[in-house]
Chain A
Amino acid sequence: MKIAISVAEANLEADVAPRFGRCQHFIIFDLVSGKFDSLGNKSADFTGGAGIATAQMIADSGVQVVLTGNCGPNAYRVLSATGIEVVTGVTGTVKEVIDKYRRGDYLAAGKPSVASHYGSRFGSPG
């Protein structure tokens, strides 16, 4: 089983990136083999629809869980339609987060954590 973690830099020491749609990279971690890959996010700087495009990429990557800071409604809709569990409110380094996930410390969000464009200059908290 693979999980995706949003990060600013593509290594296990990196902090979890607070935004799903506009993070720079994802760490795709295989919980069975313990191996990981990184996936660059080409959609990070899109003027519109970044969350949807990022979610499409993650849906195509074959992961079953996403761990991230916040996830907006459009990205959440794509991920949940794919059957991917979304965990929001995640902070810390990738290593710490993987350990916590293995211990069962996280619960799936069940809904988007923020409104559209949260964290961008057009965003509103919500």
Chain B
Amino acid sequence: MIVSVASGKGGTGKTLVATSLALSLKDEHKIQFLDCDVEEPNAHVFMKPVFTESQKVFIPVPSVDEAKCNHCGKCGEVCAFNAVAVTSHKVLVFPELCHGCGACGYLCPQNAITEVANEIGILEVGVAEGIDFVRGKLAIGQVMAPPIIRAVKDIADSNMDTIIDAPPGTSCPVVESIKDSDFCLLVTEPTPFGLNDLALAVATARQLGISCGVILNRAGVGDGAIEEYCRQESMPIMLTIPLDNAIASLYSRGIPLVAGIPAYKISFVELYENILEVVNEGSSSSER
């Protein structure tokens, strides 16, 4: 089973939940942890993996043979990302804008374009307390997170029970991270920002056909608007974590919640059992 942890709003507790969930399950299950927040991976701060392998991640970007090119402009025209400009006697490529889709080369009437590998980041594989750990890391100055996330998911074992720490937001990197999940946990906080972005995240997960549930972190402040939203949307609140200085203090020292306050382990184990129940119900009802 693949469980992804997303949020919409940043800083609500995705990594807190993902790391503690993985650590709570590791004794009973063989778990794989994927840090897909490749712009700012931080699960390693808590999991402290030992990395054994590192791979560069590339995307194909166009290289133009000016001897074959007649500067017809087709490549610039078909580029959806403005990564190619064609002047009367030179083609200019902007690799940092290229998504590596290959349209320019495919559609070049002169066959003047070949693809060259542009390094955009790395992925690292290791082990943390018996948990297989993979993280992607976007290189500084690069902006294309999805190809790195794809590389992380490609190297992962798709048959293993997997926890995915997704990036914040609801754009392409999040979609790439959570798609193909059996279940998506959406971590929120009781603030207007938390609610606004939770609604966006719920809409994203629904669009992708992924069942999801809410984790309410820093509970105890605010006005109950999250609970009201969840009632209206029939979204289960699967775990509530209170606003607690002790938790913040552990987190600031890189100590996972379940390591610092072991009583939480039972909550995370129960959370996983509840997820399993929802996923199994979903699959048996769709089989009917």
Residues of A within 8 A of B (CB): 43, 46, 48-50, 52-53, 55-56, 59, 74, 77-78, 81-82
Contact B97 A56 (CB under 8 A): no
Min CB–CB distance A113 → chain B (angstroms):
19
Q: Which of chain A's residues have a CB closer than 8 A to the CB of B94? A: 49, 52, 74
Q: Which of chain A's residues have a CB closer than 8 A to the CB of B97? A: 48-49, 52
In the complex, which of the residues B76, B81, B82, B86 has the most CB atoms of chain A within 10 Å of its own CB atom? Answer: B82
Q: Which of chain A's residues have a CB closer than 8 A to the CB of B88? A: 59, 82
Closest chain B residue to A73 by CB distance? B94
Contact B82 A82 (CB under 8 A): no
Residue-by-residue, is B18-52 near A (CB-CB < 8 Å gives 1, otherwise 0)? Answer: 00000000000000000000000000000000000
Please name 5 pairs of A and B residues whose Cβ atoms are closer than 8 Å in the assembled complex, sorted by A. A46-B82, A52-B83, A52-B85, A53-B85, A56-B86
Residue-by-residue, is B70-94 near A (CB-CB < 8 Å gives 1, otherwise 0)? Answer: 0000001000011101111010101
* In the bound complex, CA of A87 to CA of B57 (Å): 40
Q: Which of chain A's residues have a CB closer than 8 A to the CB of B90? A: 81
* In the bound complex, CA of A53 to CA of B82 (Å): 6
Q: Which of chain B's residues have a CB closer than 8 A to the CB of A53? A: 82, 85
Closest chain B residue to A62 by CB distance? B88
* In the bound complex, CA of A74 to CA of B85 (Å): 10
Q: Which of chain B's residues have a CB closer than 8 A to the CB of A78? A: 85, 87, 92
Contact B82 A50 (CB under 8 A): yes
Task: Among B81, B86, B87, point to the contact of A49 (Cβ < 8 A).
Answer: B81
Min CB–CB distance A9 → chain B (angstroms):
25
* In the bound complex, CA of A110 to CA of B90 (Å): 19
* In the bound complex, CA of A67 to CA of B144 (Å): 33
Q: Which of chain B's residues have a CB closer than 8 A to the CB of A43? A: 82
